[in-house]
Amino acid sequence: MTKYIGILTAGGDSPGLNAAIRGVGKAAMNTHGFKLIGFRDGFRGLMENRTVRLDGGALSGILTVGGTILGTSRDKPTKMPIGGKNKDMTDLVVENCRKHHLDVLVCIGGGGTAKNAYGLMQKGVNVITLPKTIDNDVACTDVTFGFDTALSIATDALDRLHSTAHSHHRIIVLEVMGHNTGWLALGSGISGGADVILIPEIPYDMDVVSEAIMKRFRSGSRFSIVAVSEGAMSKEIFKQLQAVKTKLEKTEDKKERKKLKAKRSELETIRSESTHKLTRELEARTHLESRVTILGHLQRGGIPSAADRLLATRLGTACADFISEGRYGIMVAARGDGVEAVPLEKVVGNRKNIPLDHPWIKTARDLGICLGDK
């Protein structure tokens, strides 16, 4: 029996998305004889019924192409921007799935996409998700595709920054993505020979960081490289955020909650600007010229690495196999060299942070890299 598969990419773009689309599509058509239809720009395109024909021609030549041929957006079915307001368009999204007689909707994205897919599942839509994000923070999978490429880009940046740091006797601070998790900063920092690595999981002490750099200076190393996650924060900001979070959990008073949310937003703004503040403070404390480089969206772009192409392709082909077996409501997770069907309820609401006893943490400490805590 022919099955009809809908497919979309949602959230931030990531290397390997086209490889995943190709993996799902070619396996679905060639091995199982299924029909495919793509939706443009994530859940918004599904809501607006904007489709893309996905046949052999459309899937040809996209394996090495960055970005996504389907386009993407961060719009959610439950909070869809319509006429300047956010509206719940879930019912229309479900209706469009039924109009196309979809047996399953494949949603390729990160944790937010899994949550949105789970919401559709609760409305009766068969869904399967594939885990992508350069942050590597999706729960219940060994790794996400997009991470390896971004890790290589960040490591290459550190390699290049070493020469200017050494030549000018500077402190060079490199900010990489990772608002809530530090996989990119930690991995690239170790691979790229950083002297200090600051990640969200370990709030840092400025005294510790500046002393680590001065210790290097006194030993004859007149430059230092600092790799920092965009979400890294000082111990002071961490304590304030935790205090606000605790109060929010305890109070039900609307006025008080409004004040606390405003305070949390203010602290998050300070946190988002912390890399520039960190750089200025390091220069003031050490009297060493300090410069900051922010990679930003460079980490998302370009040709996906071989590892990401392979991972996205094998998750995509496994997705087609699960569809043939009628297994829905799952995320196709990477597990060793194989795959695992993980129920979406285990993924939604969780995040894969770096455990403080993770081997990468131990490796960094054994190398003498300062993590800002001791």
Domain ranges of the chain: 4-145+304-347, 149-300
pLDDT tens-digit series, residues 112-134: 999 999 999 999 999 999 999 99
Query: What is the residue-averaged pLDDT of the chain?
Result: 95
What pLDDT does 203 receive?
96
With cut-offs at 50, 70 and 90, classify the pLDDT of residue 218: very high
Average pLDDT of span 313-335: 97
Residue 259 scores a pLDDT above 80: yes
pLDDT tens-digit series, residues 286-297: 999 999 999 988
What pLDDT does 132 receive?
97
- Burial annotation 18-27 (CB, 10 A radius, 16+ → b, else e): bbbbbbbbbb
> Of 314, 349, 351, 344, which Cα lies nearest the Cα of 329?
344
What percent of the chain stands above pLDDT 90?
89
Residue 204 scores a pLDDT above 80: yes
Residue 89 scores a pLDDT above 80: yes
Q: Which of 129-138, 161-170, 309-318 has the lowest mean pLDDT?
A: 161-170
Average pLDDT of span 240-269: 91
Beta strands 80-82 and 85-87, pairing class: antiparallel
Q: Can you tell me the distance from the alpha carbon of 117 to that of 344, in angstroms, rounded to the nearest whole number?
A: 9
User: 4-145+304-347 and 149-300: same fold?
Assistant: yes
Residue 329: CA atoms inside 13 Å, Cβ hemisphere, count?
9
Whole-structure pTM value: 0.93
Q: Can you tell me the distance from the alpha carbon of 36 to that of 25, in angstroms, rounded to the nearest whole number?
A: 7
Q: Can you tell me the distance from the alpha carbon of 275 to that of 319, in angstroms, rounded to the nearest whole number?
A: 40
Token digits of residue 293 = 């480089």
> Of 74, 185, 75, which Cα lies nearest the Cα of 134?
185
pLDDT tens-digit series, residues 185-196: 999 999 999 999
Helices 183-191 and 359-366: crossing angle in degrees, nearest 10, is: 40
What pLDDT does 169 receive?
87
Residue 70 and residue 24 in contact, taking contact as beta carbons nearer than 8 Å = no
Average pLDDT of span 255-265: 92
pLDDT tens-digit series, residues 92-103: 999 999 999 999
Residue 141 scores a pLDDT above 80: yes
Residue 85: CB partners within 8 Å, gap ≥ 6?
Answer: none
What pLDDT does 56 receive?
84
What pLDDT does 2 receive?
83
Q: Which of 261-275, 302-316, 325-339 has the lowest mean pLDDT?
A: 261-275
With cut-offs at 50, 70 and 90, classify the pLDDT of residue 167: confident
**Looking at 41, 75, 135, 308, which residue is catalytic?**
135
What pLDDT does 228 receive?
98
Residue 276: CB partners within 8 Å, gap ≥ 6?
Answer: 292
149-300 carries CATH number 3.20.20.10: no
Residue 280: CB partners within 8 Å, gap ≥ 6?
Answer: 290
CATH architecture of 4-145+304-347: 3-Layer(aba) Sandwich (3.40)
What pLDDT does 168 receive?
82
| 135 is known as an active-site residue | yes
H-only helix segments in 219-342? 235-250, 254-272, 274-286, 306-324
